[in-house]
């Protein structure tokens, strides 16, 4: 039996570049999870609403993304886990990543937020070089 062709309107995230880090805006987390399922891509979700500082952010991401126990809990180690470690585990279908409720307060200021998002931008570039979609959506608390 032949699989019917999908209409463009049925293709999840059709209008979103394959390698990008952007505000979650009009998307809802269940829609993004559904898109990942339909596209047969990894769905990584972290709710960071209870984080108070950088260490909390790293701990929460590590736990919610199920990083290995040896995760170094610094920004360099986060980049390594999002790229090299995953790349070495075999062929990858793509990623839809959500960082929800990134704190916006004195202990995790604008500079820290930008450093965090830069890691995910660098990861998107890494996967783009390998022709693998990596879309990261984020929101601030």
Q: How many CB atoms lie within 10 A of CB 140?
A: 13
Average pLDDT, the chain: 90
Calculate mean pLDDT across residues 37-42. 95
Strands in 134-140's sheet, in edge-to-edge order, are 19-23, 134-140, 95-102, 42-47
| Cβ–Cβ < 8 Å for 92, 86 | yes
| Cβ–Cβ < 8 Å for 113, 104 | yes
Full set of structural domains in the chain with CATH: 17-140 (3.30.370.10)
Which pLDDT tens digit goes with each residue over 100-119?
999 998 889 999 999 999 99
Which pLDDT tens digit goes with each residue over 55-98?
999 999 999 999 988 888 899 999 999 998 787 888 899 999 99
- Among residues 35, 57, 45, 61, the alpha carbon closest in space to that of 97 is found at 45
What the block records as the tokens of 64 is 């919610």
The pLDDT of residue 89 is: 83
The pLDDT of residue 59 is: 95
Cα separation, 19 vs 96, in Å, equals 10
The pLDDT of residue 85 is: 76
Whole-model pTM? 0.89
Cα separation, 51 vs 1, in Å, equals 50
């Amino acid at each position: 039996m032949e699989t019917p062709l999908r209409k463009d309107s049925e293709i999840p995230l059709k209008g979103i570049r394959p390698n990008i880090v952007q505000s979650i805006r009009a998307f809802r987390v269940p829609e993004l999870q559904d898109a990942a399922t339909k596209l047969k891509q990894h769905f990584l979700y972290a709710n960071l609403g209870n984080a108070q500082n950088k260490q909390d952010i790293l701990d929460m991401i590590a736990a919610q993304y199920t990083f290995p126990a040896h995760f170094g809990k610094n920004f360099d180690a986060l980049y390594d886990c999002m790229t090299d470690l995953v790349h070495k585990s075999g062929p990858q279908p793509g990623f839809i990543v959500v960082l929800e409720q990134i704190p916006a307060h004195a202990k995790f200021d604008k500079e820290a937020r930008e450093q965090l998002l830069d890691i995910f931008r660098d990861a998107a570039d890494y996967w783009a070089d390998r022709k693998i979609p990596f879309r990261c959506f984020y929101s601030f608390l």
